[in-house]
Structure 1
């Protein structure tokens, strides 16, 4: 096998194109699996536990599982490559899905929660895949490559919930426990995603990037070409996590708010669908903007969109059309911040620290999202939907106020640390 460090730029570009295509396809398959899982997870939790008050623990278990697996999967990728890291996360999720079916059959609620936590491995792999798209990208294309992988999630997220009906028919034909039929599609989706990762990520983009970086550093007499910028990296982690917390807190309480104001389940579903479209459908636009305008400018645009969403939600909370507009803006703000923030984190981190910080970012993002969803219910009961939006605005203000951290150049101690 030829030495990856000897690859000319055109061959590296070819590997990058194949990597992005592979990741996008796997995201579609993983999205279908994950969408079908979440669509009925709440119903399964309520049925197995016998208490509707415990239904939300299914989503919480998936989210916390995603957070807990993010750092180990990133560490595995750093040592053995993206191929093994992404495949391992998907295999863990597949085991979780099979345990969901078993726990439902046994009526074992604690086992069901453990199973959903393992399902979070698939979501952790999906999050990590956006960083995998940046391993061999250039500064001019990093945002675009990352955003294309994020965009591919749209297809799976839209298709997944629509497979619930056919899945129930399949489950009845196979004699599976009630409501678990859709997991047949989940299992198939996970198996196909594993196959795509194993076949498509050859050579491994992260391992190629590590070797090319080492070769270039050696050719430059050991001079590090990109200084580590830990303050900018920390800001990127904060911006992405804060945007996620704002999005999850408001989005999670919107169905409750709309139902209390007389909305039908169809209207609630339509509103959430438009919100999800805002999260993913325009991500390539924000990827292009982050490449052309810069990462920080696009993050600020994302904060402006989040602020607009929260103002509309706070001032017009009694209007269903206004709440729908707020949810669309909320999704767009999340998308802009996540795409640009992830690109900023990648390029502000020296190669030796990059995957570790990416794992930390995914952990922080998932953890604060879970905590935000829990606290949002308390805030909603205390000061209402409009008050919740105003409380969430604190994070938006903080993200804007801390922008100077992202534009500060690496200090001498930071440059020295990067050379160690």
Structure 2
């Protein structure tokens, strides 16, 4: 009789491990696609549009595309499962990347803008994949499950910026502008990620989670059973954490390559700084996951706001010639984002049952992506009107707004 009760748990754990392995494999390749727009998007826009004030437009466009796609992926996953949603998202990202390459080759600005919007689908999918890692585990392991998916992105995401020069030279051999080279890498990376998920993500983790008895779906720490209002206090706190950290991270990160170019740094130095930034976004994930599960969601969310403030101060005060200090600042910027994303994701997932989880997560990621779009487009205007230092400090101070949101959630339910 004991074996009968144990078998479903054993099968669930085996499926969870297999799901993690498949999703992590896809993230290695999608990370390279994610890094392309981050590294050279602003520079490509600056080159084609001929102005610095609109150099934040690519970030705004692909994060706006990410916003729309996040909602669509959430709805598609709700109806058909994670496999369908994630596969479609990565294929759209590959299509957008191909459009950017074509637009840069032809010098076609309207096509560039439309393609950047579609390219954002890959960014949304890359983030939505973290939810698939947490579908089959209880609240006490959600932080670590999310972090496992994020850390898998590191290999491609860190390698991508450092391949800017190589892909640029390869592109020029095909009579394609060098700045379009990383987007060609994105096409390949996203297409491979889509193929891995389409073939191997079976059975679907979300559909399996829905079929499990409700008793197996453990509530979050201190979260009363049955509290699943999609926009309740817990979801609001988790969403606010991710929204604010995304806004600040995108704003400062987007203008860093432009700031560096203006002070004589080449693509190699810029790629190095962005690689450190992306490493900060993903490499700390295993530690962050443990902290979220053992120390709590709220302390880690507060740490996210404080870390982003420190990042803003360091980037604002770094000498213009110091690549090392800029790399440190961008590394801290990535770390603050990581702390906010993992803690916010755990809070949102704790508060939503499998039956409504994908739709709610899609709606939350819509808000996250829209905040990134706003940060991206505003960053160029703010920097053009003031300075990179002013942008950095403003972002750091804004990040502290995370604290009252999560403090309010803490009074309603202990995390």
TM-score (norm 1): 0.84
Tell me, yes or no, if the aligned pair for 2:255 and 2:380 is still in contact at 8 Å.
yes
2:382 to 371, 379, 384: 379
Q: CA deviation at 1:282?
A: 0.9
Which region of structure 1 is more displaced relative to structure 2, 89-98 or 15-24?
89-98
Deviation of residue 184 (structure 1)? 5.0
Is residue 2:212 matched to residue 1:209?
A: no
Structure 2 residue 88 is matched with structure 1 residue 88: yes
Partner in structure 1 of residue 50 of structure 2: 51
| Aligned partners of 1:60 and 1:370 also within 8 Å | yes
Q: What count of residue pairs does the alignment treat as equivalent?
A: 398
SS in 2 for 1:228: coil
User: Helix, strand or coil for the counterpart of 1:136?
Assistant: coil
Which position in structure 1 is the counterpart of 2:114? Answer: 114
**Worse overlay, 242-251 or 106-115:** 106-115
Does the 8 A contact of 2:157 with 2:275 survive in 1? Answer: no
Closer, same or farther: CA 114–226 of 1 in aligned 2, 3 Å: same
- Contact 2:59–2:376 (CA<8 Å) still a contact in 1? no
What is the match of residue 357 of structure 1? 360
In the TM superposition, residue 311 of structure 1 has moved relative to its aligned partner by 3.7
Q: Provide the secondary structure at the position in 1 that maps to 2:139.
A: coil
**More displaced 10-residue stretch of structure 1: 207-216 or 395-404:** 207-216
Tell whether the 8 Å contact from 1:232 to 1:408 is kept in structure 2 after alignment: no
- Whether 1:131 aligns to 2:131 is yes
Change (3 A) 1:306 1:44: closer
Alignment of 1:21 onto 2:24? no
Bigger drift between 375-384 and 202-211 goes to 375-384
Query: Which residue is 2:220 aligned to?
Result: none
Secondary structure of residue in 1 paired with 2:153: helix
Shift of 1:292: 0.8
Distance in 1 separating the partners of 2:304 and 2:105: 44
* Residue 305 (structure 2) pairs with residue 303 (structure 1): yes
Higher relative contact order (CA 8 A, sep 6+): 2
Partner residue of 1:35?
A: 35
Q: 1:41 to 1:252 in 2, by over 3 A?
A: closer
| Cα distance in 2, alignment partners of residues 185 and 273 from structure 1 | 16
Mapping for residues 191-270 of structure 1, pairs under 5 Å:
191-213=191-213, 225-228=225-228, 230-258=232-260, 266-270=268-272
CA–CA separation in structure 1 for the residues paired with 2:320 and 2:181 = 38
* C-alpha contact (below 8 Å) 2:150/2:282 kept by paired residues: yes
Query: Which structure has the bigger radius of gyration?
Result: 1
Residue pair 2:141, 2:293 contacting (<8 A) in 1 also:
yes
User: Conserved in 2, the CA contact under 8 Å of 1:18 and 1:200?
Assistant: no
Partners of 2:86 and 2:129 within 8 A in 1: yes
| 1:283 alignment partner, one of 282, 285, 289 | 285
Q: What residue number does 1:388 align with?
A: 391
2:402 aligned residue: 399
The alignment's C-alpha RMSD in Å is 3.0
Alpha-carbon spacing, 1:6–1:204, altered in 2? closer, same or farther (3 Å): farther
| Counterpart residue number, 1:141 | 141
Which runs of 5 or more structure 1 residues have no equivalent in the other structure?
218-223, 411-420
Distance of 2:400 and 2:40 partners within structure 1: 36
Structure 2 contact 43–258 (Cα < 8 Å) conserved = no
Aligned equivalents of 1:359, 1:162: Cα separation in 2? 31
Q: Give 1:42 deviation, angstroms.
A: 4.8
Q: Is the 8 A contact 1:61 1:117 kept in 2?
A: yes
Q: Does 1:368 align with 2:368?
A: no
Displacement after TM superposition at 1:171 (Å): 5.2
Quickly say closer, same or farther: Cα 1:312–1:19, change in 2 above 3 A. Answer: same
Instruction: Give the conservation status (yes or no) of the 8 Å contact 2:162–2:272.
Output: no
- Number of the residue aligned with 1:151: 151
How many angstroms apart in 1 are the aligned matches of 2:39 and 2:318? Answer: 29
In the alignment, the residues of structure 2 paired with residue 95 and residue 24 of structure 1 have an alpha-carbon distance, to the nearest angstrom, of 22
Instruction: Compute the displacement of 1:103 (Å).
Output: 3.6
Asked if the contact 1:36–1:163 (Cα under 8 Å) also holds between the matched residues in 2, the reply is: no
1:308-319 map, 5 Å: 308-314=310-316
Aligned counterpart, 1:294: 296
1:197 deviation in Å?
0.4
Q: TM-score by structure 2 length?
A: 0.85
Summarize the Cα distance change of 1:115–1:319 in structure 2 as closer, same or farther, 3 Å threshold: closer
